[in-house]
């Protein structure tokens, strides 16, 4: 493979003749109708791709102004490359690279939050999309309301004109836009249940807590839409060799490429008072059953994906395919899907659940993606509250033990906040979590794995209701004890044996 350092850089001067994914957005940044917060790999491999395809079907002023949180690792190279980047698609049919050309401006939320506010207030901007991870919505795991205990959010509430959090930025931007009366849409693209409704609640609560005027609250209520959406595409981390792969395929050096599987799904509630791209012609599904699709994604894909990552990491496996190829991990994963999660889902009309599960297992076997267990297992404190409590409480309420959901929690604790004296291994140690220091502090006085699990769950790290479930706390404690004493395989066997056994 040739070195990418000896070939021309991707940019306006070199893009002619390269395969373009979809169509280009209008070049003038003033015409860009979309703001995006969270300029990471997932947005660039998912919503931006669907937007490019929509523009190929129907022209419109739908360029994207992208804001990263604080890292320049994407913003700087995309500026140098005139907003251009490539998507390296990895599938059974082979590997291909295509150029995306829809981004028309860049910024950093942390460095210049007021620029985000200004753009939201600008009438020409009509949609704001979000990929800020679960933590960006400032939802309290314990109460389900605005996380007023968060220091960053408290600071924003005290000084709402100078926000730093995502919810604070949205609230301030909409406050300033209200004077124009122009309608607007906030479209979350994160793995958050009822994400649009959640964003609306958090923004409204922020405005109420910060003393917003009644006319501002009325504008947000009546003129701002917060549609729900479900997103699905595996986008593994870019590696050191990705740029070289692109160079071999395209003949240019791309310093901001993304890798992705071929599969991509986007289900959107069609509520856009200021208009939208023709996403329905660009591969998206417009549906009034988004909540049902979200349940499918969270409980058939996301929750089991976490289990694969934690068990695999504890077993020393580097990637999801390496983990899922272990028979005992695959058995636990499919048991979690079919026995514990599927009965809690109200499926969308006409949805082929068996086909979806078959496709999913195929995706988890894709070695070309190299999706790392450390990547999938990170940020569990933000992700698991979306994936565990609802199905767990469903079964507990009917007197059954969701032992595979309990195993997911026990394996997460073992990886990210291991009990005293337990070494989870290199892959688990590499997982990161924004609440890791807080969780370690909560558990520091625990002397046994069972006590370790108890104090963590009773802290409300997953939900207030699970913090009060003695049966679930005991089950997680027993499984964590087994992981420490006998390893993840033994704990998995115990969980499979106990799954859905009566608790009373």
Segments making up each domain of the chain, as ranges? 4-287, 291-498
Nearest 10 degrees: Cα torsion 123, 129, 131, 134:
90
pLDDT reading at 336 higher than 50: yes
The CA distance from 132 to 208, in Å, is 23
pLDDT at 5: 59
Q: Percent of the chain, pLDDT > 70?
A: 99
The CA distance from 223 to 136, in Å, is 23
Q: Which helix (DSSP H) or strand (DSSP E) does residue 498 occupy?
A: helix 488-498
Residue 375, helix vs strand vs coil: helix
* Residue 464: C-alpha distances to residues 160, 236, 390, 398 (Å): 29, 32, 12, 19
The CA distance from 188 to 54, in Å, is 18
Q: Which CATH number fits domain 291-498: 3.20.20.450, 1.10.1040.10, 3.30.750.24, 1.10.3720.10?
A: 1.10.1040.10
pLDDT reading at 86 higher than 50: yes
Measured over the CA atoms of residue 489, residue 493, residue 499 and residue 501, the dihedral's sign is: negative
Question: For 191-200, what is each residue's pLDDT tens digit?
Answer: 888 999 999 9
Residue 228, helix vs strand vs coil: coil
pLDDT reading at 210 higher than 80: yes
pLDDT at 3: 55
Question: For 250-296, what is each residue's pLDDT tens digit?
Answer: 999 999 999 999 999 999 999 999 999 999 999 999 999 999 999 99
The CA distance from 115 to 2, in Å, is 40
Helices (H), 276-402: 290-296, 303-314, 320-324, 327-335, 353-364, 373-377, 380-387, 389-397
DSSP bridge partners of 149: none
Q: What's the whole-number mean pLDDT along residues 344-350?
A: 95
Q: Which regions of 250-301 does DSSP assign to beta strands (E)?
A: 258-261, 265-268, 285-286
Averaged pLDDT score across all residues of the chain: 95
Q: What's the whole-number mean pLDDT along residues 325-330?
A: 98
C-beta separation of 200 from 235 below 8 A: no
Question: For 37-53, what is each residue's pLDDT tens digit?
Answer: 999 999 999 999 999 99
Backbone dihedral angles phi then psi of residue 421, each to the nearest 5 degrees: 85, -5
Q: Which two tokens stand for residue 125?
A: 């901007």
pLDDT reading at 240 higher than 90: no
pLDDT at 50: 98
Question: For 369-396, what is each residue's pLDDT tens digit?
Answer: 888 999 999 999 999 999 999 999 999 9
pLDDT reading at 1 higher than 60: no
pLDDT at 503: 85
From the CA atom positions of the chain, what is the Rg in Å?
23
Show the CA angle centred on residue 376, arms to residues 371 and 379, nearest 5°: 150
The CA distance from 315 to 321, in Å, is 13
Q: Percent of the chain, pLDDT > 90?
A: 92
Q: Report the DSSP pairing between strands 229-232 and 103-108.
A: unpaired
Q: How would you write 25-92 as a 3-class SS string?
A: CCCCHHHCCEEEECCCHHHHHCHHHHHHHHHHHCCCCCCEEEEECCCCCCHHHHHHCCCCEEEEEEEC
pLDDT at 4: 56
Nearest 10 degrees: Cα torsion 293, 34, 116, 189:
10
Write down the CATH number for the domain with range 4-287: 3.40.50.720
Helices (H), 210-282: 214-223, 242-250
Write the Ramachandran bin of 227: left for phi over 0, alpha for psi from -120 to 50, otherwise beta: beta
pTM for the predicted model, two decimal places = 0.86
The CA distance from 264 to 231, in Å, is 8
């Amino acid at each position: 493979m040739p070195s990418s350092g000896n070939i021309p850089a991707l940019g306006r001067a070199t893009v002619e003749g390269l395969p373009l994914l979809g169509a280009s957005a209008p070049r003038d940044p003033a015409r860009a109708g979309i703001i995006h917060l969270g300029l990471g790999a997932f947005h660039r491999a998912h919503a931006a791709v669907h937007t490019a395809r929509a523009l190929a079907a129907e022209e419109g002023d739908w360029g994207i102004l992208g804001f990263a949180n604080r890292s320049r690792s994407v913003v700087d190279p995309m500026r140098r490359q005139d907003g251009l980047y490539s998507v390296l698609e990895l599938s059974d049919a082979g590997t291909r690279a295509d150029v995306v050309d829809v981004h028309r401006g860049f910024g950093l939320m942390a460095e210049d939050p007021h620029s985000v506010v200004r753009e939201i207030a600008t009438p020409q901007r009509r949609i704001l999309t979000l990929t800020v991870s679960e933590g960006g919505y400032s939802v309290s795991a314990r109460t389900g309301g605005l996380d007023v205990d968060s220091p960053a959010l408290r600071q924003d509430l005290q000084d709402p004109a100078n926000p730093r959090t995502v919810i604070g930025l949205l609230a301030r931007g909409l406050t300033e836009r209200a004077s124009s009366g122009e309608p607007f849409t906030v479209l979350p693209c994160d793995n958050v249940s009822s994400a649009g409704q959640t964003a609306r609640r958090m923004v409204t609560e922020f405005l109420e807590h910060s003393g917003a005027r009644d006319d501002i609250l009325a504008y947000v209520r009546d003129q701002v839409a917060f549609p729900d959406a479900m997103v699905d595409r595996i986008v593994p981390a870019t590696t050191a060799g990705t740029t070289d792969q692109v160079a071999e395929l395209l003949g240019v050096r791309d310093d901001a490429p993304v890798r992705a599987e071929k599969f991509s799904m986007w289900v959107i509630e069609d509520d856009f008072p200021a208009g939208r791209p023709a996403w329905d012609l660009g591969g998206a599904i417009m549906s009034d059953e988004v909540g049902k699709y979200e349940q499918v994604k969270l409980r058939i894909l996301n929750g089991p994906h976490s289990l694969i990552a934690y068990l695999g990491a504890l077993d020393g496996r580097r990637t999801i395919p390496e983990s899922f190829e272990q028979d005992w991990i695959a058995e636990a994963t499919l048991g979690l899907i079919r026995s514990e999660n599927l009965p809690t889902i109200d499926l969308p009309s006409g949805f082929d659940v068996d086909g979806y599960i078959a496709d999913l297992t195929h995706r988890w076997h894709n070695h070309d993606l190299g999706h790392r267990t450390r990547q999938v297992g990170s940020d569990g404190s933000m992700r698991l509250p979306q994936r565990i409590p609802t199905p767990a409480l469903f079964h507990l309420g009917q007197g059954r033990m969701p032992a595979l959901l309990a195993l997911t929690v026990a394996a997460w604790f073992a990886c990210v906040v291991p009990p005293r004296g337990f070494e989870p291994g290199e892959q688990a140690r590499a997982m990161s979590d924004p609440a890791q220091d807080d969780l370690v502090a909560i558990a520091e006085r625990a002397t046994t794995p069972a006590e370790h699990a108890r104090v963590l769950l009773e802290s409300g790290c997953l939900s207030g209701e699970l913090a009060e479930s003695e049966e679930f706390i005991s089950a997680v404690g027993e499984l964590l004890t087994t992981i420490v004493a006998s390893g993840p395989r033994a704990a998995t066997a115990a969980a499979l044996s106990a799954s859905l056994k009566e608790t009373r």
